[in-house]
Chain A
Amino acid sequence: MNAIRLIEESQKREITSFGIGDTVKVYLKIVEGDKERIQVFEGTVIGRKGSGSRETFTVRKVSFGIGVERILPLHSPMIDKIEVVKKGDVRRAKLYYLRGKKGKSARIKEKE
């Protein structure tokens, strides 16, 4: 197990700490041909899954009335940086209930 842990540790990168319910801006590197540009995906973190270098997080946003979710590997080199816009005050580890809600009820209380 030790060898695997060493490999996984070497894959880890420095991550801005954020929690479930936070609104984050994820700066993603997009490669088009041989050009690279940054795309921002802003939304609510509705869950984190896995551990170590294999950890992923799910960001949800509502774009033109359609819910969009992206599951991203936390330590992926394709993520340029993560910015926390708002801290959310939630009582659950997975906010899947947001999928069935819209408008006012889909809001998350902000942490003081």
Chain B
Amino acid sequence: MIKGIVGEKIGMTQIYNDNGRTIPVTVVKAGPCKVVQIKTAEKDGYEAVQLGFDKIKEKKVTKPLLGHFKKAQVHPHRYLMEIRMSIQGLTVGQDIHLDIFEKGEKVDVTGISKGKGFAGVMKRHGYHGGPGSHGSMFNRAPGSIGSSSYPSRVWKGKGMPGHLGSKRVTLKGLEVVDIKKEQNILLIKGAIPGATGGFLIISKP
């Protein structure tokens, strides 16, 4: 059974539901995907399906990758993603559409979060910082990072400034508000990780 599909974030808007309330939705272009490779327990040690999404010109892919697509007799795609699922009834070259989802169903969405660059501890870890005024010179600094004689070192995992974002993030249990089959459009309630045009995996839990 197909558990997931690959898509692209298009943007956000709002729609009116049956009760007349406005609800925020993210518009996602999901599929159609092609099965490029099927991984089996005998050969690869686990079962998974590799999906291709967003067709591109042949000259846009590297030669090794082109060979991989040629082997499956599939047009080259921009994104290749492996999703672990049972492979029963699947064949290489098969099309996968978003009709695997139903209206009102809960899905998990994986994306790459927006990059925030080198961020301080307030933005990155939610530290409270110090007072902004009244002569305070301790504004956004992290403060003490540990004690002296014990442990005489900084604990592992201590929140420090550093790179924030551009990370794989999964949001679980998001509601599918609407499905527009002809346009391959999925409306998912609320916000989704990543920038507009970002690559997403929408899967069933």
Contact = CB atoms under 8 A, between A and B. Distances in A.
B73 interface: no
A79 B187 CA distance: 24
B22 A76 contact: yes
Interface string A17-52: 000000000000101000000000000000000000
Interface stretch (B8-16, B47-55, B63-71, B79-87): B8-16
B77 interface: no
B89 interface: no
A28 to B, nearest CB: 10
B179 to A, nearest CB: 12
B21 to A, nearest CB: 8
B13 A4 contact: yes
B20 A4 contact: no
Give the dominant DSSP class at B's interface: strand
Contacts, number: 37
A77 interface: yes
A3 B27 contact: yes
Contacts of A4: 10-11, 13, 27
Interface in B119-136: none
Contacts of B147: none
Interface string B1-34: 0000000001101111001101000010100000
B149 interface: no
A73 B22 contact: yes
B192 interface: no
Nearest to B196: A1
B185 interface: yes
A1 B27 CA distance: 10
Interface stretch (A6-14, A85-93, A100-108): A6-14
A104 B20 CA distance: 38
